[in-house]
Homo-oligomer: A and B are copies of this chain.
Amino acid sequence: MPSEAALKWLESNKQASVDRLVGWLKIPSVSTDPAYRDQCRAAATWAAQRLTEAGLAAELVPTGTKEKPGHPIVLATTPTVHDPNAKGPHVLFYGHYDVQPADPLNLWESPPFEPVIKPAKGAVGEHIVARGAVDDKGQVASFLEALLAWKHSGGPIAGGLKITVMLEGEEESGSVNLERFVTDHRSRLESCDVCVISDTGMYDRQTPAITYGVRGLAYTEITLHAANRDLHSGQWGGRCPNPISELTKVLAGLWDKDYRVTIPGFYDSVRDLQPSERAAWKALGFDQVKALADIGMPPEADVGEKGYTALEREWARPTAEINGIWGGYTGAGAKTVIPAHASAKVSFRLVADQDPEKIRDAFFTWCKARTPAGCRWELTDHHGGWPVTVPTKSPMLDACLRALKAASGRDAALIKTGGSIPVGGLLKSALGIDTIFMGFGLDDDRVHSPNEKFELACFRLGCRTHVLAMEELGRG
């Protein structure tokens, strides 16, 4: 079968594939920090060059406005997309070339943007350590390598499959320009039958997986303003509001003793877990105690919403988290100050069918109802995305399951993830297409943390799977 040559090419070009990924990871494409604007564009250009090399027509499409420019989106298509005689489905492949900020830098064992290959701890083979190694450059690279394999092994472009590629540069900063982009380029996207995204994980090292549900996100920043200047706590302590103290009192009320979010209506649109789902997940035998041990925590750290297992809480229950907090004096030693204001970054992980904007509004309303006497709020929306749950039975999904089995020799598990991939919900609402999340990360990849890594075994499984998936999906 034609994929054999492509698979051989991958095998004999193993090192070159890793070298290419290293080159991409060296570009610090941190989208949330304006200081990295040029590096984001450089990372997009790099991807467009690989796509062109694989025979696709690729371009960088600008986003945002003149006043508030966004990071470009890499848009590419196989020639077959424009060939009226080409058979088979039209598949949209989405990924993102931007990465999370690398801080805290002091906790990295090697510089975040100087990738190193290390022996994989407690596993066979090696892994590559760098910011973006698995989220998402490494996974997108496994798709790009599959395209290069088809091309350089003399096969049809993308194995003959009709593919449109859309690589975003703002996934880690709220995808603020993606919805507008999808609307503006509807004509190039609406003929797609399904979307495939590699930005999730395997169930474990041995078990590949298709993720049929992701959580949504609503991300906010709140600042509580009190006096118009910093005050001396001797003169003013006990005489006026301390914005840090008042902010902690408000935020502490976000959860009840059972870790349920107290915002009115928060759970209204949450789909209940089905007994069949709970049974299927229980059968996976997830070991929360071991997972906690891996992050240095004892079994009693298994805290969360009462009445649900750890896996159920991550995959099927919404949460409220404080991702950052700051105010007053944070330097060395002591300063007896009552600051003028205090801030926090508060986000909510959502599940189908919660609406991110409704949750954000409910939170802001909840804050205002608790405004400390004499203080005022500054409430900012850093955006988020819709939760998604897709059907577990479809020809396309079956094609991906066949590819995973052929590439790994194992049956893939059907799982969910607690992470958010907003584009899934957007593509469903804007274009009516479902998304198949076929990822190759592992739970211990330290996503968003110092020393993020990607197992080379997973990277190579991703390359092989994408080669085979292009073939299987082409069968329609």
Q: What is A's interface to B at a CB cutoff of 8 Å?
A: 32-34, 100-101, 103-104, 107, 172-174, 215, 217, 219, 226-242, 244-245, 247-249, 251-255, 259, 288, 291-292, 295-298, 300-305, 310, 313-314, 317-339, 342-345, 347, 349, 372-375, 382-383, 417-420, 443, 446-451
Contacts and interface: CB of A to CB of B under 8 A. Distances in A.
B321 A240 contact: no
A387 to B, nearest CB: 11
A325 B323 contact: no
Nearest to A349: B237
Contacts of A248: 247-248, 251-252, 322, 325
A452 to B, nearest CB: 10
The interface centre, meaning the residue of A235, A249, A383, A417 with most chain B CB atoms within 10 A of its CB, is A235
Nearest to A217: B336
Contact of A418 (B235, B324, B327, B347): B235
Contacts of A251: 245, 248, 252
Contacts of A337: 323-324, 448-449
Given A234-B349, A234-B418, A240-B302, A297 B334 contact: no
B325 A334 contact: no
Contacts of A317: 238
A31 to B, nearest CB: 8
A242 B322 contact: yes
A231 to B, nearest CB: 6
Given A240-B303, A244-B324, A331 B234 contact: no
Given A226-B297, A248-B322, A319-B237, A336 B327 contact: no
Contacts of A302: 239-240, 374
Given A107-B229, A239-B288, A304-B239, A331 B373 contact: no
B322 A325 contact: no
A331 B229 contact: no
Contacts of A217: 234, 336
B336 A219 contact: yes
A235 to B, nearest CB: 6
A-B interface, 8 closest residue pairs, ranked by CB to CB distance from nearest: A301-B374, A234-B419, A228-B296, A32-B333, A252-B252, A324-B328, A238-B319, A238-B313
B32 A334 contact: yes
A342 B327 contact: no
The interface centre, meaning the residue of A244, A322, A450 with most chain B CB atoms within 10 A of its CB, is A322
Contact of A332 (B33, B304, B329, B448): B33
A323 B332 contact: no
B418 A314 contact: no
A32 B336 CA distance: 12
A226 B450 contact: no
A373 B301 CA distance: 5
A321 B300 contact: no
6 contacts: A174-B333, A238-B349, A239-B314, A245-B320, A298-B374, A321-B338
A320 B244 CA distance: 12
A174 B335 CA distance: 10
Nearest to A221: B334
B321 A242 contact: yes
A336 B448 contact: yes
Contacts of A373: 300-301, 303
Given A100-B335, A241-B301, A419-B234, A345 B323 contact: no
A417 B336 CA distance: 15
